[in-house]
Structure 1
Amino acid sequence: MKTILAGTCLAIGLLAAVLLLTGSDSPPMAGEKAEIAMRNVGYRVLLAAGDSSSRVLPVTKVDNNIYLIRFENPLTFTTDTLVKVIHEALAPGINTKILPSAYVVNVMECTGNLVVYSYQMAGTEENTLVPCKGRDQPVGCYAIKITFERSTLLAVGKWKLGGLALTCLALAGFIFLRKAPTSNNEQKQPSTLSIGQFAFDLQNGMLKHKDEVIDLTAKEAKILTLFAKQPNMVLERDKLMKEVWEDEGVIVGRSLDMFVSKLRKKLQADPNVKITNVHGKGYKLEIG
Protein backbone atom coordinates (compact mmCIF):
# COMPACT_ATOMS: atom_id res chain seq x y z
CA MET A 1 0.00 0.00 0.00
CA LYS A 2 2.81 2.39 0.90
CA THR A 3 4.50 1.65 -2.42
CA ILE A 4 1.32 2.43 -4.39
CA LEU A 5 0.79 5.67 -2.48
CA ALA A 6 4.40 6.72 -2.97
CA GLY A 7 4.25 5.93 -6.70
CA THR A 8 1.05 7.91 -7.18
CA CYS A 9 2.36 10.91 -5.26
CA LEU A 10 5.65 10.77 -7.14
CA ALA A 11 3.80 10.86 -10.49
CA ILE A 12 1.76 13.89 -9.38
CA GLY A 13 4.85 15.66 -8.10
CA LEU A 14 6.77 15.01 -11.32
CA LEU A 15 3.86 16.38 -13.35
CA ALA A 16 4.02 19.54 -11.23
CA ALA A 17 7.75 19.83 -11.89
CA VAL A 18 7.20 19.46 -15.66
CA LEU A 19 4.62 22.23 -15.62
CA LEU A 20 6.95 24.51 -13.70
CA LEU A 21 9.81 23.83 -16.09
CA THR A 22 7.56 24.43 -19.09
CA GLY A 23 6.70 27.83 -17.65
CA SER A 24 10.33 28.91 -17.54
CA ASP A 25 11.41 32.43 -18.46
CA SER A 26 14.65 30.97 -19.83
CA PRO A 27 13.99 29.33 -23.25
CA PRO A 28 16.33 26.64 -24.60
CA MET A 29 19.18 27.69 -26.84
CA ALA A 30 17.98 28.07 -30.45
CA GLY A 31 20.24 25.88 -32.58
CA GLU A 32 20.71 27.85 -35.81
CA LYS A 33 20.74 31.25 -34.12
CA ALA A 34 23.25 30.01 -31.55
CA GLU A 35 25.58 28.73 -34.28
CA ILE A 36 25.33 32.07 -36.10
CA ALA A 37 26.33 33.76 -32.83
CA MET A 38 29.36 31.44 -32.60
CA ARG A 39 30.47 32.32 -36.12
CA ASN A 40 30.13 35.99 -35.19
CA VAL A 41 32.44 35.33 -32.24
CA GLY A 42 35.03 33.78 -34.55
CA TYR A 43 34.75 36.62 -37.06
CA ARG A 44 35.27 39.28 -34.38
CA VAL A 45 38.22 37.42 -32.86
CA LEU A 46 39.91 37.39 -36.28
CA LEU A 47 39.25 41.11 -36.77
CA ALA A 48 40.71 41.86 -33.33
CA ALA A 49 43.80 39.89 -34.34
CA GLY A 50 44.17 42.04 -37.48
CA ASP A 51 43.01 39.28 -39.85
CA SER A 52 40.20 40.29 -42.19
CA SER A 53 40.74 37.71 -44.93
CA SER A 54 41.03 34.18 -43.49
CA ARG A 55 38.01 32.03 -42.70
CA VAL A 56 36.27 30.84 -39.59
CA LEU A 57 35.93 27.07 -40.09
CA PRO A 58 32.53 25.36 -39.65
CA VAL A 59 31.43 25.61 -36.01
CA THR A 60 31.23 22.26 -34.19
CA LYS A 61 28.37 21.65 -31.77
CA VAL A 62 30.03 19.35 -29.25
CA ASP A 63 26.94 19.12 -27.02
CA ASN A 64 23.64 20.95 -26.53
CA ASN A 65 25.47 23.67 -24.62
CA ILE A 66 29.05 23.38 -25.95
CA TYR A 67 30.41 24.92 -29.17
CA LEU A 68 33.88 24.70 -30.73
CA ILE A 69 35.12 27.53 -32.97
CA ARG A 70 38.13 26.80 -35.21
CA PHE A 71 40.10 29.00 -37.61
CA GLU A 72 41.72 28.54 -41.01
CA ASN A 73 45.03 30.16 -40.07
CA PRO A 74 47.12 30.68 -36.90
CA LEU A 75 46.35 33.82 -34.91
CA THR A 76 47.35 35.75 -31.80
CA PHE A 77 45.28 37.42 -29.09
CA THR A 78 45.47 39.54 -25.97
CA THR A 79 43.50 38.16 -23.04
CA ASP A 80 41.65 41.40 -22.20
CA THR A 81 40.69 41.98 -25.82
CA LEU A 82 39.51 38.39 -26.25
CA VAL A 83 37.21 38.63 -23.21
CA LYS A 84 35.75 41.92 -24.43
CA VAL A 85 35.30 40.77 -28.04
CA ILE A 86 33.55 37.52 -27.12
CA HIS A 87 31.30 39.26 -24.60
CA GLU A 88 30.24 41.88 -27.13
CA ALA A 89 29.67 39.23 -29.82
CA LEU A 90 27.44 37.16 -27.51
CA ALA A 91 25.57 40.12 -26.03
CA PRO A 92 22.74 40.23 -28.64
CA GLY A 93 21.99 36.53 -28.12
CA ILE A 94 22.12 36.88 -24.33
CA ASN A 95 19.88 39.97 -24.35
CA THR A 96 17.24 38.17 -26.47
CA LYS A 97 17.59 35.03 -24.28
CA ILE A 98 18.77 32.87 -27.18
CA LEU A 99 21.93 32.23 -25.15
CA PRO A 100 22.42 31.87 -21.38
CA SER A 101 24.31 34.70 -19.70
CA ALA A 102 26.70 32.35 -17.86
CA TYR A 103 29.43 30.61 -19.83
CA VAL A 104 33.02 29.37 -19.72
CA VAL A 105 35.58 30.02 -22.47
CA ASN A 106 38.57 27.72 -23.06
CA VAL A 107 41.19 28.61 -25.68
CA MET A 108 42.95 25.39 -26.70
CA GLU A 109 45.88 24.47 -28.89
CA CYS A 110 44.78 22.68 -32.05
CA THR A 111 47.18 19.82 -31.35
CA GLY A 112 47.04 18.13 -27.98
CA ASN A 113 43.94 20.07 -26.84
CA LEU A 114 45.98 21.83 -24.14
CA VAL A 115 44.14 24.81 -22.63
CA VAL A 116 46.27 27.94 -22.98
CA TYR A 117 43.72 30.36 -21.52
CA SER A 118 40.30 30.13 -19.91
CA TYR A 119 37.85 32.32 -18.03
CA GLN A 120 34.31 32.27 -16.67
CA MET A 121 31.50 34.77 -17.13
CA ALA A 122 28.44 34.66 -14.86
CA GLY A 123 25.40 36.67 -13.99
CA THR A 124 26.99 37.92 -10.77
CA GLU A 125 30.33 39.62 -10.28
CA GLU A 126 31.46 37.25 -7.52
CA ASN A 127 31.03 34.25 -9.83
CA THR A 128 32.86 35.88 -12.75
CA LEU A 129 36.49 34.82 -13.06
CA VAL A 130 38.81 36.47 -15.62
CA PRO A 131 42.48 35.69 -14.80
CA CYS A 132 45.74 36.77 -16.45
CA LYS A 133 44.59 40.13 -17.78
CA GLY A 134 46.79 41.98 -20.26
CA ARG A 135 48.71 38.92 -21.49
CA ASP A 136 49.71 38.62 -25.16
CA GLN A 137 49.56 35.10 -26.55
CA PRO A 138 52.05 34.06 -29.26
CA VAL A 139 50.88 33.29 -32.78
CA GLY A 140 49.57 29.74 -32.91
CA CYS A 141 46.81 27.41 -34.02
CA TYR A 142 44.00 27.90 -31.50
CA ALA A 143 40.40 26.75 -31.10
CA ILE A 144 37.83 28.39 -28.83
CA LYS A 145 35.44 26.22 -26.83
CA ILE A 146 32.44 27.98 -25.29
CA THR A 147 30.43 26.07 -22.69
CA PHE A 148 27.12 27.63 -21.67
CA GLU A 149 25.61 26.96 -18.25
CA ARG A 150 22.73 24.52 -18.20
CA SER A 151 20.16 26.47 -16.19
CA THR A 152 16.42 26.70 -16.14
CA LEU A 153 14.62 29.39 -14.17
CA LEU A 154 11.41 28.23 -12.58
CA ALA A 155 8.60 30.72 -13.24
CA VAL A 156 6.59 29.64 -10.24
CA GLY A 157 4.41 32.73 -10.28
CA LYS A 158 2.93 31.70 -13.63
CA TRP A 159 1.53 28.47 -12.23
CA LYS A 160 -0.95 28.33 -9.35
CA LEU A 161 -0.43 24.70 -8.46
CA GLY A 162 -2.25 23.17 -5.52
CA GLY A 163 -0.30 22.27 -2.39
CA LEU A 164 -1.25 18.59 -2.93
CA ALA A 165 1.24 18.10 -5.79
CA LEU A 166 4.28 19.42 -3.92
CA THR A 167 3.23 17.69 -0.70
CA CYS A 168 2.91 14.37 -2.53
CA LEU A 169 6.36 14.76 -4.06
CA ALA A 170 7.88 15.28 -0.63
CA LEU A 171 5.86 12.37 0.80
CA ALA A 172 6.98 10.03 -1.98
CA GLY A 173 10.61 10.91 -1.37
CA PHE A 174 10.19 10.33 2.36
CA ILE A 175 8.62 6.89 1.84
CA PHE A 176 11.24 5.75 -0.66
CA LEU A 177 14.10 6.98 1.50
CA ARG A 178 12.75 5.16 4.56
CA LYS A 179 12.19 1.99 2.58
CA ALA A 180 15.57 1.89 0.89
CA PRO A 181 18.25 3.80 2.80
CA THR A 182 21.48 4.49 0.94
CA SER A 183 24.14 1.90 1.68
CA ASN A 184 27.84 2.67 1.98
CA ASN A 185 28.43 1.15 -1.47
CA GLU A 186 25.85 3.50 -3.01
CA GLN A 187 27.29 6.70 -1.62
CA LYS A 188 28.25 9.38 -4.09
CA GLN A 189 31.57 8.73 -5.73
CA PRO A 190 34.24 11.45 -5.53
CA SER A 191 34.31 13.84 -8.49
CA THR A 192 38.08 14.40 -8.26
CA LEU A 193 40.92 11.91 -7.87
CA SER A 194 44.53 12.74 -6.95
CA ILE A 195 47.21 11.30 -9.22
CA GLY A 196 50.54 12.46 -7.83
CA GLN A 197 50.65 16.22 -8.39
CA PHE A 198 47.60 16.05 -10.68
CA ALA A 199 43.95 16.54 -9.78
CA PHE A 200 41.81 14.43 -12.11
CA ASP A 201 38.35 15.98 -12.66
CA LEU A 202 36.25 12.89 -13.45
CA GLN A 203 33.09 14.77 -14.35
CA ASN A 204 34.67 17.11 -16.91
CA GLY A 205 37.48 14.81 -18.09
CA MET A 206 40.29 17.23 -17.24
CA LEU A 207 43.68 17.03 -15.57
CA LYS A 208 44.81 19.95 -13.43
CA HIS A 209 48.48 20.45 -12.63
CA LYS A 210 49.18 23.60 -10.61
CA ASP A 211 47.76 26.40 -12.81
CA GLU A 212 47.59 24.29 -15.98
CA VAL A 213 44.41 22.60 -17.20
CA ILE A 214 44.85 19.66 -19.58
CA ASP A 215 41.80 18.50 -21.51
CA LEU A 216 41.32 14.79 -22.16
CA THR A 217 39.33 13.07 -24.86
CA ALA A 218 36.46 10.84 -23.73
CA LYS A 219 38.50 7.66 -24.19
CA GLU A 220 41.60 9.13 -22.54
CA ALA A 221 39.48 10.07 -19.53
CA LYS A 222 37.91 6.61 -19.39
CA ILE A 223 41.28 4.84 -19.54
CA LEU A 224 42.82 7.17 -16.95
CA THR A 225 39.83 6.60 -14.64
CA LEU A 226 40.48 2.85 -14.72
CA PHE A 227 44.15 3.45 -13.90
CA ALA A 228 43.46 6.05 -11.20
CA LYS A 229 41.04 3.79 -9.33
CA GLN A 230 43.67 1.02 -9.18
CA PRO A 231 47.07 2.74 -8.89
CA ASN A 232 50.24 0.62 -8.81
CA MET A 233 48.25 -2.40 -9.97
CA VAL A 234 48.58 -4.23 -13.28
CA LEU A 235 45.52 -3.86 -15.50
CA GLU A 236 45.29 -6.53 -18.18
CA ARG A 237 45.11 -5.38 -21.80
CA ASP A 238 41.98 -7.44 -22.47
CA LYS A 239 40.18 -5.90 -19.49
CA LEU A 240 41.12 -2.35 -20.51
CA MET A 241 40.00 -2.85 -24.10
CA LYS A 242 36.75 -4.48 -23.01
CA GLU A 243 35.93 -1.65 -20.59
CA VAL A 244 36.67 1.11 -23.10
CA TRP A 245 35.62 -0.30 -26.48
CA GLU A 246 33.06 -3.00 -25.70
CA ASP A 247 30.03 -0.81 -26.53
CA GLU A 248 31.47 -0.02 -29.98
CA GLY A 249 31.58 -3.66 -31.02
CA VAL A 250 35.07 -3.35 -32.53
CA ILE A 251 38.21 -3.61 -30.40
CA VAL A 252 41.56 -2.65 -31.92
CA GLY A 253 44.64 -3.46 -29.82
CA ARG A 254 46.75 -0.67 -31.30
CA SER A 255 44.13 1.88 -30.29
CA LEU A 256 44.83 1.17 -26.63
CA ASP A 257 48.58 1.63 -27.16
CA MET A 258 47.98 4.94 -28.93
CA PHE A 259 45.80 6.36 -26.14
CA VAL A 260 48.23 5.17 -23.45
CA SER A 261 51.03 6.95 -25.33
CA LYS A 262 48.97 10.18 -25.37
CA LEU A 263 48.26 9.88 -21.65
CA ARG A 264 51.97 9.44 -20.93
CA LYS A 265 52.72 12.75 -22.63
CA LYS A 266 50.01 14.53 -20.65
CA LEU A 267 51.35 13.13 -17.37
CA GLN A 268 54.97 14.17 -18.03
CA ALA A 269 54.69 17.21 -15.75
CA ASP A 270 55.01 14.91 -12.70
CA PRO A 271 58.05 12.60 -13.01
CA ASN A 272 56.67 10.44 -10.18
CA VAL A 273 53.64 9.44 -12.26
CA LYS A 274 54.24 6.89 -15.00
CA ILE A 275 52.23 4.41 -17.05
CA THR A 276 54.49 1.39 -17.50
CA ASN A 277 54.13 -1.56 -19.83
CA VAL A 278 54.08 -4.94 -18.06
CA HIS A 279 55.25 -7.37 -20.73
CA GLY A 280 52.72 -10.01 -21.65
CA LYS A 281 50.09 -8.66 -19.23
CA GLY A 282 49.10 -5.04 -19.63
CA TYR A 283 49.80 -1.65 -18.10
CA LYS A 284 50.29 -0.20 -14.63
CA LEU A 285 49.90 3.38 -13.35
CA GLU A 286 52.87 3.89 -11.05
CA ILE A 287 52.67 6.71 -8.54
CA GLY A 288 55.90 7.27 -6.62
Structure 2
Amino acid sequence: MEKYSETTTLVVDIGNTNITCGIYQQDEMVRFARFYSSAHRTADEYFSLLIPLLNTESLNNINSIVIGSVVPELMRIWMHLFQKYFSAEVWEINALSPLGISYKVDDPSFIGADLIANAFGALKKYDSDCIIIDLGTATTIQFITKEGSFEGTAIAPGLKVSADALFERAALLSQIEIVPPSVLLGTNTRDALLSGIVNGHAYMLECYIQQIKTHHTDCQKIVTILTGGIADLVYPLVPSVDIVDKTITLDGFYLAYKTIRH
Protein backbone atom coordinates (compact mmCIF):
# COMPACT_ATOMS: atom_id res chain seq x y z
CA MET A 1 0.00 0.00 0.00
CA GLU A 2 1.01 3.58 -0.60
CA LYS A 3 2.78 5.23 2.33
CA TYR A 4 1.37 8.45 3.73
CA SER A 5 3.07 11.16 5.72
CA GLU A 6 0.99 11.03 8.89
CA THR A 7 2.92 9.55 11.81
CA THR A 8 0.15 7.87 13.73
CA THR A 9 -3.54 7.10 13.28
CA LEU A 10 -5.81 5.93 16.11
CA VAL A 11 -8.70 3.68 15.04
CA VAL A 12 -11.57 2.93 17.44
CA ASP A 13 -14.35 0.37 16.93
CA ILE A 14 -17.16 0.67 19.49
CA GLY A 15 -19.27 -2.47 19.83
CA ASN A 16 -21.97 -3.58 22.23
CA THR A 17 -19.64 -5.77 24.30
CA ASN A 18 -16.12 -4.59 23.48
CA ILE A 19 -14.27 -1.53 22.27
CA THR A 20 -11.20 -2.28 20.18
CA CYS A 21 -8.50 0.23 19.38
CA GLY A 22 -5.55 0.11 17.01
CA ILE A 23 -2.57 2.34 16.42
CA TYR A 24 -1.53 2.47 12.76
CA GLN A 25 1.85 3.67 11.55
CA GLN A 26 2.83 3.53 7.87
CA ASP A 27 -0.29 1.49 7.04
CA GLU A 28 0.42 -1.18 9.67
CA MET A 29 -1.25 -1.80 13.01
CA VAL A 30 1.54 -1.58 15.56
CA ARG A 31 -0.46 -1.70 18.80
CA PHE A 32 -3.85 -3.06 19.80
CA ALA A 33 -6.13 -2.86 22.84
CA ARG A 34 -9.54 -4.25 23.77
CA PHE A 35 -11.76 -3.42 26.74
CA TYR A 36 -15.37 -3.84 27.77
CA SER A 37 -18.00 -1.40 26.58
CA SER A 38 -19.78 0.48 29.35
CA ALA A 39 -21.91 3.61 29.11
CA HIS A 40 -21.19 4.17 32.81
CA ARG A 41 -17.55 5.08 32.14
CA THR A 42 -16.65 8.69 31.60
CA ALA A 43 -14.42 10.10 28.88
CA ASP A 44 -11.66 10.45 31.49
CA GLU A 45 -11.98 6.80 32.48
CA TYR A 46 -11.79 5.64 28.89
CA PHE A 47 -8.75 7.83 28.31
CA SER A 48 -7.02 6.15 31.25
CA LEU A 49 -7.62 2.82 29.51
CA LEU A 50 -6.02 4.21 26.36
CA ILE A 51 -2.83 5.32 28.11
CA PRO A 52 -1.12 1.88 27.88
CA LEU A 53 -1.80 1.93 24.14
CA LEU A 54 -0.38 5.42 23.70
CA ASN A 55 3.06 6.61 24.63
CA THR A 56 3.85 10.31 24.91
CA GLU A 57 5.39 10.52 21.47
CA SER A 58 2.54 8.76 19.66
CA LEU A 59 -0.08 10.78 21.54
CA ASN A 60 1.54 14.03 20.47
CA ASN A 61 1.90 12.86 16.88
CA ILE A 62 -1.62 11.52 16.33
CA ASN A 63 -3.23 13.74 13.74
CA SER A 64 -5.94 11.37 12.53
CA ILE A 65 -8.59 9.50 14.50
CA VAL A 66 -10.99 7.07 12.84
CA ILE A 67 -14.08 5.82 14.65
CA GLY A 68 -17.07 3.59 14.00
CA SER A 69 -19.76 2.79 16.53
CA VAL A 70 -22.98 0.82 16.96
CA VAL A 71 -23.63 2.35 20.41
CA PRO A 72 -24.76 6.00 20.14
CA GLU A 73 -24.26 6.82 23.83
CA LEU A 74 -20.66 5.55 23.75
CA MET A 75 -20.07 7.46 20.54
CA ARG A 76 -20.93 10.69 22.38
CA ILE A 77 -18.57 9.82 25.24
CA TRP A 78 -15.69 9.06 22.89
CA MET A 79 -16.23 12.19 20.82
CA HIS A 80 -15.97 14.16 24.06
CA LEU A 81 -12.75 12.24 24.86
CA PHE A 82 -11.25 13.17 21.50
CA GLN A 83 -12.21 16.81 21.90
CA LYS A 84 -10.71 16.96 25.39
CA TYR A 85 -7.43 15.09 24.92
CA PHE A 86 -6.53 15.19 21.22
CA SER A 87 -6.00 17.84 18.59
CA ALA A 88 -6.36 15.32 15.75
CA GLU A 89 -9.05 15.43 13.09
CA VAL A 90 -11.79 12.83 13.69
CA TRP A 91 -13.26 10.77 10.86
CA GLU A 92 -16.46 8.80 11.47
CA ILE A 93 -17.10 5.83 9.19
CA ASN A 94 -20.65 4.62 8.57
CA ALA A 95 -22.92 3.41 5.78
CA LEU A 96 -23.20 6.93 4.36
CA SER A 97 -19.43 7.26 3.90
CA PRO A 98 -18.47 7.57 0.20
CA LEU A 99 -16.70 4.23 -0.18
CA GLY A 100 -18.05 3.09 -3.54
CA ILE A 101 -20.19 0.36 -1.94
CA SER A 102 -23.69 -0.15 -3.37
CA TYR A 103 -26.61 -1.35 -1.27
CA LYS A 104 -29.91 -3.15 -1.89
CA VAL A 105 -31.82 -0.42 -0.02
CA ASP A 106 -32.38 3.26 -0.74
CA ASP A 107 -31.32 4.36 2.76
CA PRO A 108 -28.46 2.25 4.14
CA SER A 109 -28.01 4.42 7.24
CA PHE A 110 -29.37 1.65 9.50
CA ILE A 111 -26.49 -0.69 8.59
CA GLY A 112 -23.97 -0.98 11.41
CA ALA A 113 -20.57 0.66 11.04
CA ASP A 114 -18.88 -2.64 11.87
CA LEU A 115 -20.57 -4.32 8.91
CA ILE A 116 -19.40 -1.53 6.63
CA ALA A 117 -15.84 -1.84 7.92
CA ASN A 118 -15.88 -5.63 7.52
CA ALA A 119 -17.19 -5.38 3.96
CA PHE A 120 -14.77 -2.66 2.90
CA GLY A 121 -11.83 -4.33 4.63
CA ALA A 122 -12.60 -7.61 2.85
CA LEU A 123 -12.80 -5.89 -0.53
CA LYS A 124 -9.52 -4.05 -0.10
CA LYS A 125 -7.56 -6.87 1.51
CA TYR A 126 -8.78 -9.86 -0.53
CA ASP A 127 -10.09 -8.40 -3.83
CA SER A 128 -12.75 -11.10 -4.15
CA ASP A 129 -16.37 -11.92 -3.51
CA CYS A 130 -16.40 -12.36 0.25
CA ILE A 131 -18.46 -13.87 3.04
CA ILE A 132 -17.51 -12.25 6.34
CA ILE A 133 -18.56 -13.89 9.61
CA ASP A 134 -18.09 -11.78 12.74
CA LEU A 135 -18.43 -13.56 16.09
CA GLY A 136 -19.40 -10.87 18.57
CA THR A 137 -22.37 -10.07 20.79
CA ALA A 138 -24.30 -11.02 17.69
CA THR A 139 -22.97 -13.32 15.00
CA THR A 140 -23.20 -11.56 11.65
CA ILE A 141 -22.89 -13.26 8.29
CA GLN A 142 -22.59 -10.91 5.34
CA PHE A 143 -21.82 -11.14 1.65
CA ILE A 144 -20.22 -8.53 -0.57
CA THR A 145 -19.29 -8.97 -4.20
CA LYS A 146 -15.95 -8.10 -5.72
CA GLU A 147 -17.68 -5.20 -7.47
CA GLY A 148 -18.68 -3.73 -4.10
CA SER A 149 -22.34 -4.77 -3.95
CA PHE A 150 -23.41 -5.25 -0.32
CA GLU A 151 -25.80 -8.17 -0.80
CA GLY A 152 -27.08 -8.33 2.77
CA THR A 153 -26.51 -9.73 6.23
CA ALA A 154 -27.88 -12.40 8.55
CA ILE A 155 -27.81 -11.61 12.27
CA ALA A 156 -27.99 -14.37 14.88
CA PRO A 157 -27.49 -14.39 18.65
CA GLY A 158 -23.80 -14.65 19.41
CA LEU A 159 -22.40 -17.91 20.73
CA LYS A 160 -21.71 -16.53 24.20
CA VAL A 161 -25.01 -14.63 24.34
CA SER A 162 -26.87 -17.84 23.52
CA ALA A 163 -24.93 -19.77 26.14
CA ASP A 164 -25.58 -17.14 28.82
CA ALA A 165 -29.30 -17.16 28.04
CA LEU A 166 -29.38 -20.94 28.37
CA PHE A 167 -27.58 -20.92 31.72
CA GLU A 168 -29.86 -18.18 33.02
CA ARG A 169 -33.11 -19.92 32.09
CA ALA A 170 -32.26 -23.58 32.82
CA ALA A 171 -32.24 -24.13 36.57
CA LEU A 172 -30.26 -27.37 36.47
CA LEU A 173 -27.52 -26.16 34.10
CA SER A 174 -24.48 -24.48 35.63
CA GLN A 175 -22.35 -22.06 33.67
CA ILE A 176 -19.24 -23.60 32.15
CA GLU A 177 -16.14 -22.31 30.41
CA ILE A 178 -16.63 -22.30 26.65
CA VAL A 179 -13.86 -24.45 25.16
CA PRO A 180 -13.63 -26.70 22.08
CA PRO A 181 -15.93 -29.73 22.49
CA SER A 182 -14.19 -33.08 22.74
CA VAL A 183 -17.14 -35.22 21.62
CA LEU A 184 -20.13 -34.90 19.33
CA LEU A 185 -22.61 -36.37 21.82
CA GLY A 186 -21.80 -35.93 25.48
CA THR A 187 -22.28 -38.52 28.20
CA ASN A 188 -22.19 -35.83 30.89
CA THR A 189 -23.76 -32.40 31.16
CA ARG A 190 -20.57 -30.44 30.47
CA ASP A 191 -19.70 -32.30 27.26
CA ALA A 192 -23.32 -32.19 26.09
CA LEU A 193 -23.43 -28.43 26.63
CA LEU A 194 -20.14 -27.80 24.87
CA SER A 195 -21.20 -29.82 21.85
CA GLY A 196 -24.58 -28.16 21.62
CA ILE A 197 -23.29 -24.63 22.15
CA VAL A 198 -20.08 -24.69 20.11
CA ASN A 199 -20.76 -27.40 17.53
CA GLY A 200 -24.30 -26.13 17.06
CA HIS A 201 -23.06 -22.62 16.27
CA ALA A 202 -20.36 -23.95 13.95
CA TYR A 203 -22.81 -26.14 12.02
CA MET A 204 -25.13 -23.17 11.59
CA LEU A 205 -22.27 -21.15 10.12
CA GLU A 206 -21.21 -23.95 7.78
CA CYS A 207 -24.76 -24.29 6.48
CA TYR A 208 -25.03 -20.53 5.91
CA ILE A 209 -21.79 -20.50 3.93
CA GLN A 210 -23.00 -23.33 1.70
CA GLN A 211 -26.40 -21.69 1.19
CA ILE A 212 -24.83 -18.37 0.21
CA LYS A 213 -22.57 -20.12 -2.27
CA THR A 214 -25.57 -22.00 -3.68
CA HIS A 215 -27.42 -18.72 -4.19
CA HIS A 216 -24.40 -17.10 -5.88
CA THR A 217 -23.17 -19.73 -8.31
CA ASP A 218 -22.27 -16.93 -10.72
CA CYS A 219 -19.32 -16.04 -8.47
CA GLN A 220 -16.15 -17.83 -9.53
CA LYS A 221 -14.48 -17.69 -6.13
CA ILE A 222 -15.93 -16.71 -2.76
CA VAL A 223 -13.48 -16.15 0.08
CA THR A 224 -14.93 -16.84 3.53
CA ILE A 225 -13.43 -14.82 6.37
CA LEU A 226 -13.94 -15.41 10.09
CA THR A 227 -13.33 -12.67 12.65
CA GLY A 228 -14.19 -11.83 16.25
CA GLY A 229 -12.77 -12.64 19.64
CA ILE A 230 -13.69 -16.35 19.58
CA ALA A 231 -12.76 -16.96 15.95
CA ASP A 232 -9.94 -19.33 16.91
CA LEU A 233 -12.39 -21.45 18.93
CA VAL A 234 -14.86 -21.86 16.07
CA TYR A 235 -12.50 -21.97 13.08
CA PRO A 236 -11.52 -25.69 13.27
CA LEU A 237 -15.19 -26.65 13.26
CA VAL A 238 -16.20 -24.74 10.10
CA PRO A 239 -14.45 -26.38 7.12
CA SER A 240 -15.55 -23.77 4.58
CA VAL A 241 -13.83 -20.88 6.34
CA ASP A 242 -10.74 -19.85 4.35
CA ILE A 243 -9.18 -17.18 6.55
CA VAL A 244 -9.22 -16.05 10.17
CA ASP A 245 -8.66 -12.30 10.17
CA LYS A 246 -9.08 -10.78 13.61
CA THR A 247 -8.12 -7.27 12.54
CA ILE A 248 -10.40 -6.96 9.50
CA THR A 249 -12.81 -4.55 11.23
CA LEU A 250 -10.14 -2.11 12.42
CA ASP A 251 -8.31 -2.50 9.11
CA GLY A 252 -11.57 -1.78 7.30
CA PHE A 253 -12.10 1.45 9.24
CA TYR A 254 -8.52 2.50 8.54
CA LEU A 255 -8.73 1.68 4.83
CA ALA A 256 -12.07 3.50 4.60
CA TYR A 257 -10.49 6.59 6.15
CA LYS A 258 -7.65 6.46 3.62
CA THR A 259 -10.14 6.22 0.77
CA ILE A 260 -12.27 9.12 1.98
CA ARG A 261 -9.43 11.51 2.77
CA HIS A 262 -7.97 11.22 -0.75
Q: Assess same fold via TM > 0.5.
A: no
Structure of greater Rg: 1
TM-score (norm 2): 0.23
